[in-house]
A and B are shown apart, each in its own frame.
Chain A
């Protein structure tokens, strides 16, 4: 299905809609600009309706959660959709009163100018499909900055993106002309190209391969806004033994983020040439890690199985990656947590 100007169309209408897209996007951009307040108001309303449980059944049908409760997850996310949070987000990321015109006041009697931040124009979003809400979220970011948004749905989308964006348009009809959602398959290069050509910026979520592919689609002058994979690590030097608070904090960070964020520490580097010191660190640090794990116990059987399986799979991956033959390695296993010691190659 396709969402364009607030209306749902069957996928078969894609080429007709794409043909008229430039005209309709241009008309939108000539018209009334979208204010950040309008967008925030609509999202806030959506959040309230979600909190009230209005969409629980549909979300369950979309398969948002299979094993644990939908309601809990939804209500957890509602805070992110609140006016308070969104205003905070915009102010933090863009600065206070970002959208207000500003006059420069140069010295020495030079003449000043007035600057006004404007939207980039049209954004084409290619979002990752592995996360519920992410495709809708990237469009919301585009809306907050007043852009017209073309979204290509990920192949694995479960219908939730369309539901969320369509509801948003129902709440605030002024958003209708700023949201286009296409369920184009990734191998429909012609359609992808067309959307890319219309865009002033392409927002892409994915790894190197995805970004490389998108670069090929983009015309010169089209900005690429990349949300790629990033890695973070911890680096320990000197007297780590004398710093229990730091070790506690590190363990807490590892467990709290489940190492899932790009800001999560993925590896701990130790500034030493001695493998013995690394083993010693593992022996010392494992109880800290275990304590942090026990503070956030894994009680649900599915979650416990997932962690155990992941640990086991990681262990085999390490064996297959071949570093078993290079240097020393050892595993320090706790309950639902483990440390893998190895040389830095």
Chain B
């Protein structure tokens, strides 16, 4: 059994303290694999003067060169031939560019025990059938986005009595159908089976707001749940904070905040982050987080804001071992949460919004804010 496989079968998914040695071994294993088979990855490590053998101590992981997620938007950086890849997933690609990340069968198999352990802790698996309302895209063959796959996956936690999608495929185009969703919710509310929501927080919020404005306040069947994922990035815009979201769920659906579960993940770091009952994202054993200084990229101690660097040996097909997101975040000491988990927890506080462009078109935006440049 490989170190990676051992790591993904570790019994307690939040035992980050006792998995340090194993994590290091798995990282070294993954790094050596990519270094041997991926010329691009090797070129980067060589240029940075780093070799897989330099991973001797746990702390050396921080010295491992990281790849920005932006890089995966411009390059197909695969470490295995395409025929060995079972799945290719893409990020949602606002603005036209998206990352292409490939997975081998083995990579995906790592995910199975991970999802099982993480999801089970939050009591999401159940033999009781549920109705599902998905605030996301109806899957279709040409939709490779990871959010779509994840959202669909979440409707498999229990037997499904039916799925309603907020983004429906109409003649090849996705169109939002909030009226259809509102009608479905009112219908399912009368059922004796629980109703589960899954999808983007902003859409979920919007649907609750719509019902609230119409004076529709429901008591959903017992064990109904709201699962949200796909990031809070829409939320920065609308400046809706989580408390308001929970309050609205209570008001419109009579759902307690303990029945609201949030997921976090990125296609470049396909580790399932699931919030604890206090709604904190504790780091699972499959992953490590390094917060880096926004000027020097040096690691920061817990409690300070910086760029979020995510590390996981899960994927071999693409060198996403250590990726630098364009999220700003803070890592908190696990003990301060109070839920009982001791692994540190990650708080995402914003997005840097690294724009992909440096053309004159981009410059025009700058002009709008710095009009003196025109003259």
Which A residues are CB-close (under 8 A) to B40?
A: 320
Task: Decide: B361 and A205 in contact? CB cutoff 8 A.
Answer: yes
Judge if B70 is at the interface, Cβ distance under 8 Å.
yes
Task: Decide: B297 and A319 in contact? CB cutoff 8 A.
Answer: no
Task: Decide: B96 and A313 in contact? CB cutoff 8 A.
Answer: no
Task: Decide: B368 and A73 in contact? CB cutoff 8 A.
Answer: yes
Q: Can you spell out 30 A-B residue pairs with CB atoms less than 8 angstroms apart?
A: A63-B237, A66-B351, A67-B353, A72-B369, A77-B371, A129-B95, A130-B356, A130-B365, A134-B364, A155-B96, A156-B94, A156-B96, A205-B361, A227-B361, A229-B360, A257-B366, A259-B358, A260-B360, A262-B359, A262-B363, A301-B305, A301-B328, A304-B295, A306-B326, A306-B352, A308-B294, A309-B307, A309-B324, A316-B67, A316-B68
Q: Give the distance in Å from the alpha carbon of A319 to the alpha carbon of B41 in the complex.
A: 10
Task: Decide: B295 and A317 in contact? CB cutoff 8 A.
Answer: no
Q: Give the distance in Å from the alpha carbon of A259 to the alpha carbon of B357 in the complex.
A: 11
Given A260-B358, A262-B363, A306-B354, 8 other A-B contacts at CB below 8 A?
A66-B351, A128-B361, A131-B364, A205-B361, A257-B366, A308-B294, A312-B68, A320-B71
Within A109-164, the residues touching B (CB, 8 Å) are 128-134, 137, 155-156
Judge if A238 is at the interface, Cβ distance under 8 Å.
no
Q: Give the distance in Å from the alpha carbon of A233 to the alpha carbon of B246 in the complex.
A: 54
Which one of B294, B350, B371, B374 contacts A67 once the chains associate, using CB atoms below 8 Å?
B350
Q: Looking at the assembled complex, report how far the CB atom of B278 sits from the nearest CB atom of chain A, in whole angstroms.
A: 26
**Contact indicator per residue, chain A 305-335, by CB within 8 Å of chain B (1) or not (0):** 1101110110011011010100000000001
**Contact indicator per residue, chain A 93-113, by CB within 8 Å of chain B (1) or not (0):** 000000000000000000000
Task: Decide: A131 and B354 in contact? CB cutoff 8 A.
Answer: no
Within B219-233, the residues touching A (CB, 8 Å) are 233
Closest 10 CB pairs of A and B: A262-B360, A261-B363, A260-B363, A305-B294, A77-B368, A63-B237, A131-B365, A76-B369, A304-B294, A128-B361
**Contact indicator per residue, chain A 62-99, by CB within 8 Å of chain B (1) or not (0):** 01001100001100110110000000000000000000
Within A193-224, the residues touching B (CB, 8 Å) are 205-207
Judge if A61 is at the interface, Cβ distance under 8 Å.
yes
Residue of B nearest to A230 (CB): B360
Q: Looking at the assembled complex, report how far the CB atom of B127 sits from the nearest CB atom of chain A, in whole angstroms.
A: 42
Residue of B nearest to A185 (CB): B173
Q: How many residues of B contact A (CB 8 A)?
A: 53
Within A219-259, the residues touching B (CB, 8 Å) are 227, 229-230, 256-259
Task: Decide: A61 and B238 in contact? CB cutoff 8 A.
Answer: yes
Task: Decide: B361 and A313 in contact? CB cutoff 8 A.
Answer: no
Residue of B nearest to A331 (CB): B47
Task: Decide: B353 and A80 in contact? CB cutoff 8 A.
Answer: no
Is chain B's binding surface mostly helix, strand, loop or mixed? mixed
Judge if B44 is at the interface, Cβ distance under 8 Å.
yes
Task: Decide: A316 and B359 in contact? CB cutoff 8 A.
Answer: no
Judge if A60 is at the interface, Cβ distance under 8 Å.
yes
**Contact indicator per residue, chain B 308-324, by CB within 8 Å of chain A (1) or not (0):** 00000000000000001
Within B42-82, the residues touching A (CB, 8 Å) are 43-44, 47, 67-68, 70-71, 74-75
Residue of A nearest to B372 (CB): A79
Residue of A nearest to B305 (CB): A301
**Contact indicator per residue, chain A 155-179, by CB within 8 Å of chain B (1) or not (0):** 1100000000000000000000000
Q: Give the distance in Å from the alpha carbon of A308 to the alpha carbon of B70 in the complex.
A: 13
Task: Decide: A80 and B44 in contact? CB cutoff 8 A.
Answer: no
Q: How many residues of A contact B (CB 8 A)?
A: 55
Which one of B74, B295, B366 contacts A335 once the chains associate, using CB atoms below 8 Å?
B295
Task: Decide: B352 and A260 in contact? CB cutoff 8 A.
Answer: no
For A73, A185, A304, A309, which residue has the most chain B Cβ atoms within 10 angstroms?
Answer: A309
Q: Give the distance in Å from the alpha carbon of A90 to the alpha carbon of B312 in the complex.
A: 57
Q: Known contacts being A227-B361, A229-B359, is A309 close to B326, with CB within 8 Å?
A: yes
Q: Give the distance in Å from the alpha carbon of A229 to the alpha carbon of B365 in the complex.
A: 15
Which A residues are CB-close (under 8 A) to B374?
A: 80
Q: Give the distance in Å from the alpha carbon of A72 to the alpha carbon of B368 in the complex.
A: 10
Judge if B183 is at the interface, Cβ distance under 8 Å.
no
Residue of A nearest to B374 (CB): A80
**Contact indicator per residue, chain B 321-365, by CB within 8 Å of chain A (1) or not (0):** 000101010000000000000000000001111111111111111
Judge if A45 is at the interface, Cβ distance under 8 Å.
no
Which A residues are CB-close (under 8 A) to B68?
A: 309, 312-313, 316
Task: Decide: A80 and B350 in contact? CB cutoff 8 A.
Answer: no
Residue of A nearest to B65 (CB): A316
Judge if A5 is at the interface, Cβ distance under 8 Å.
no
Which B residues are CB-close (under 8 A) to A229?
A: 359-360
Q: Give the distance in Å from the alpha carbon of A130 to the alpha carbon of B355 in the complex.
A: 9
Judge if A302 is at the interface, Cβ distance under 8 Å.
yes
Judge if B83 is at the interface, Cβ distance under 8 Å.
no
Judge if A264 is at the interface, Cβ distance under 8 Å.
yes
Q: Give the distance in Å from the alpha carbon of A134 to the alpha carbon of B173 in the complex.
A: 25
Residue of A nearest to B360 (CB): A262
Judge if B373 is at the interface, Cβ distance under 8 Å.
yes
Which A residues are CB-close (under 8 A) to B236?
A: 66-67
Task: Decide: B363 and A156 in contact? CB cutoff 8 A.
Answer: no
Task: Decide: A309 and B354 in contact? CB cutoff 8 A.
Answer: yes
Q: Looking at the assembled complex, report how far the CB atom of B353 sits from the nearest CB atom of chain A, in whole angstroms.
A: 6
Q: Give the distance in Å from the alpha carbon of A150 to the alpha carbon of B78 in the complex.
A: 43
Q: Give the distance in Å from the alpha carbon of A131 to the alpha carbon of B360 in the complex.
A: 10
Which one of A63, A76, A261, A336 contacts B360 once the chains associate, using CB atoms below 8 Å?
A261
Q: Looking at the assembled complex, report how far the CB atom of B180 sits from the nearest CB atom of chain A, in whole angstroms.
A: 16
Judge if B370 is at the interface, Cβ distance under 8 Å.
yes
Q: Known contacts being A73-B368, A261-B363, is A316 close to B71, with CB within 8 Å?
A: yes
Judge if B367 is at the interface, Cβ distance under 8 Å.
yes
Q: Known contacts being A260-B358, A302-B352, is A313 close to B70, with CB within 8 Å?
A: yes
Task: Decide: B43 and A324 in contact? CB cutoff 8 A.
Answer: yes
Task: Decide: B353 and A320 in contact? CB cutoff 8 A.
Answer: no
For B44, B328, B357, B364, which residue has the most chain A Cβ atoms within 10 angstroms?
Answer: B364
Task: Decide: B74 and A317 in contact? CB cutoff 8 A.
Answer: yes
Which B residues are CB-close (under 8 A) to A313?
A: 68, 70-71, 354
Which B residues are CB-close (under 8 A) to A128?
A: 361
Q: Looking at the assembled complex, report how far the CB atom of B172 sits from the nearest CB atom of chain A, in whole angstroms.
A: 8
Q: Give the distance in Å from the alpha carbon of A131 to the alpha carbon of B94 in the complex.
A: 13
Residue of A nearest to B307 (CB): A305
Q: Looking at the assembled complex, report how far the CB atom of A161 sits from the nearest CB atom of chain B, in whole angstroms.
A: 14
Within B172-197, the residues touching A (CB, 8 Å) are 173
Q: Looking at the assembled complex, report how far the CB atom of B347 sits from the nearest CB atom of chain A, in whole angstroms.
A: 14
Q: Looking at the assembled complex, report how far the CB atom of A53 sits from the nearest CB atom of chain B, in whole angstroms.
A: 16
